[in-house]
Amino acid sequence: MGFSKNFLWGGATAANQCEGAWNIDGKGPSTADVVTAGSYHKERVNTRTVQEGIYYPSHNAIDHYHHFKEDIALFAQMGFKCYRLSINWSRIYPTGLEETPNEAGLAHYDAVFDECRKYGIEPVVTLSHYETPLGLVDAFGAWKDRRCIDAFVKYCTTVFKRYKGKVKYWMTFNEINCMSISGWNAGGIIENDEASKMQAAHHQFVASAKAVKIGHEIDADNKIGMMYGGLFSYAATCKPTDVMANITNMNSALFYCDVMCRGYYPAYKLKELERKGIVLHTEPEDAQILLEGKVDYLAYSYYMSLVAGENTTGMNVATGNLYTGYTNPYLKTTDWGWQIDPIGLRISLNNLYDRYQLPLFIVENGLGAVDTVEEDGSINDDYRIAYMQNHIAEMKKAVEIDGVDLMGYTPWGCIDLVSAGTGEMKKRYGFIYVDVDDLGQGTFKRFKKKSFDWYKKVIATNGEDLSA
């Protein structure tokens, strides 16, 4: 027996990486709108304000805002059961501080969700996907300040009520553990010290828990999950000190899951904060809020695995979207230095399910690569097909052999979009090619890649036929 008959096959995007229309119909600027383009060898820069003469990839992206009907129709052609997307918070509350929401923003997502429903596609909605309103940063430093909790809860309450009956799958914060690596992306945090990041993380935990509780009260059918940025590592050797070092490395990321899935801070994290002299500012009711606002499921991204150990001197550093680690000599890498590890996906499913006993949802997985448009217009992305064949095969083993409760699978960038890590367009993930370059120039026309029909067949056979 393979995947369940109601398995959620689909694809994933994020508003700031695909919508464009950054200042249209009342939308305010978000933290993504002041981050420049970069590359594999060039860091993206946060300019804090929108400056003249600088290219910001989020401003146009692939203009999904004006092409969503065309794009969703293509998703429907592939047979999508669900579409993971995000609401751009600053479309609903332009600065985050308004008392009443922006009706034009609400109406836009009404239209998007209605279009999904027209084709029988379930929206899976991320409430905050690297899109904190810039107004909250300017007003009080965003998530380092407790007032951001109320702003988020207000926003969540608005969209839960507005889209009741249209959306039932939600996630609160995208890759919430990104706070430890990039505080700006995760929550508009300028400071780089651990105390500031942990305080911001605590506020997001409380905000998420409150949102979960309110979301259930508004609609009992709502399923509200967390989203973990898949950090998974192996011990460098079987030397006990390397094994312990790897446990410490994994705990640094999984602590976010521990709090949101279990409803309390794990003992190892409390001890770590104590050793470092970090005192979190909390309210007496926070403990109860966290307990009452545990998530319904755990969603996560999986692209690669890393290596950790006591002494990794001399080992090559591997790069990833959210983190760095050490390379595994047994694995191949992508052109952007990400290690390809399909079996690691099965391992991650087993580890997370064993740890939390909650339904899991793989909401990002895929291969970023340079795609070539041939003279006849075809795009032969066999490398992407091979990557996904191997990962889906291991995912199926986790369900069929290991008994993991897996809800669905939404490969990242089902349509080409701006890379979060580098701001590039040439690092393409999609089954659908969009004619836009790294400077935002192009026709914006959509073209099917070879992987389009392949993934269509995978969905049609519920993952039974993975042949190219």
The pLDDT of residue 318 is 57
Q: Does residue 446 sit within a domain?
A: yes
Residue for token digits 């400056």?
A: 51
Domain that holds residue 232: 8-460
Structural domain contains residue 76: yes
337: number of Cβ within 10 Å: 15
Span 124-158, pLDDT tens digits: 999 999 999 999 999 999 999 999 999 999 999 99
What's residue 41's pLDDT?
84
| Nearest-angstrom CA–CA distance, 416 and 436 | 9
> CA-to-CA distance for 362 and 410, rounded, in angstroms?
6
pLDDT band at 399 (very low <50, low <70, confident <90, very high): very high
**Is residue 68 a part of any domain in this protein?**
yes
205 is written with which tokens? 């935990």
Q: Are 226 and 212 in contact (CB under 8 A)?
A: no
Provide, rounded to the nearest whole percent, the portion of the chain with pLDDT above 90: 92
Measure CA 87 to chain center: 13
- Helix ranges restricted to H, 122-239: 134-140, 147-162, 183-187, 194-218
* pLDDT score recorded for residue 317: 56
Within-domain flag for 336: yes
Mean pLDDT of 57-61: 97
| Residue 315 pLDDT class (50, 70, 90 cuts) | low
What is the DSSP-derived secondary structure letter of residue 316?
A: P
Closest CA to 363 of 14, 120, 119: 14
Mean pLDDT of the chain: 95
56, part of any domain: yes
Scan for tokens 């109601």, then name that residue.
6
Domain contains 179:
yes
| Interacting residues of 76 by C-beta distance below 8 A, sequence separation 6+ | 119, 120, 121
Average pLDDT over residues 30-44: 93
Helices marked H in 163-262? 183-187, 194-218, 240-262
Mean pLDDT of 274-297: 98
pLDDT of residue 321: 47
Residue 422 domain flag: yes
- State both tokens at 458: 């995978």
Amino acid present at 308: A
Query: Which pLDDT tens digit goes with each residue over 161-218?
Result: 999 999 999 999 999 999 999 999 999 999 999 999 999 999 999 999 999 999 999 9
**CATH number of the domain bearing residue 250:** 3.20.20.80
Number of folded domains that form the chain? 1
pLDDT value, residue 429 = 97
> What is the Cβ-side half-sphere exposure of residue 18, based on CA atoms within 13 angstroms?
28
Q: 318-351: per-residue pLDDT in tens?
A: 555 444 467 788 999 888 888 999 999 999 999 9
| pLDDT for position 322 | 44
Which conformational region is residue 165 in: left (phi greater than 0), alpha (psi within -120 to 50 degrees), or beta? left
273 touches 245 (CB < 8 A): no
* Mean pLDDT, rounded, for 428-443: 97
Confirm whether 1 is domain-assigned. no
Angle ∠(336,418,93) on CA atoms, nearest 5:
135
Q: Are residues 168 and 222 in contact, defined by beta-carbon separation less than 8 angstroms?
A: yes
* Long-range contacts formed by 217-223: CB under 8 A, 24+ apart: 218/157, 218/160, 218/161, 218/164, 219/160, 219/164, 219/165, 219/168, 221/168, 222/160, 222/168, 222/170, 223/168, 223/169, 223/170, 223/296, 223/297
pLDDT of 102 above 60? yes
Which residues are annotated as catalytic? 175, 364
List the structure tokens of 180: 């430890």
The reported pLDDT for the residue numbered 312 is 61
Encode pLDDT of 70-93 as tens digits.
999 999 999 999 999 999 999 999
202 within 8 A of 187, measured Cβ to Cβ: no
Write the DSSP symbol of residue 77: H
> What whole-number distance in Å separates Cα of residue 285 and Cα of residue 304?
38
Beta strands in 341-422 (DSSP E): 360-364, 406-409
Taking the C-alpha atoms of residue 32 and residue 141, their distance in angstroms, rounded to an integer, is 15
- 428 and 369 in contact (C-beta within 8 Å)? yes
How do beta strands 306-308 and 233-235 pair?
Answer: parallel
Pairing of the two strands 8-12 and 406-409? parallel
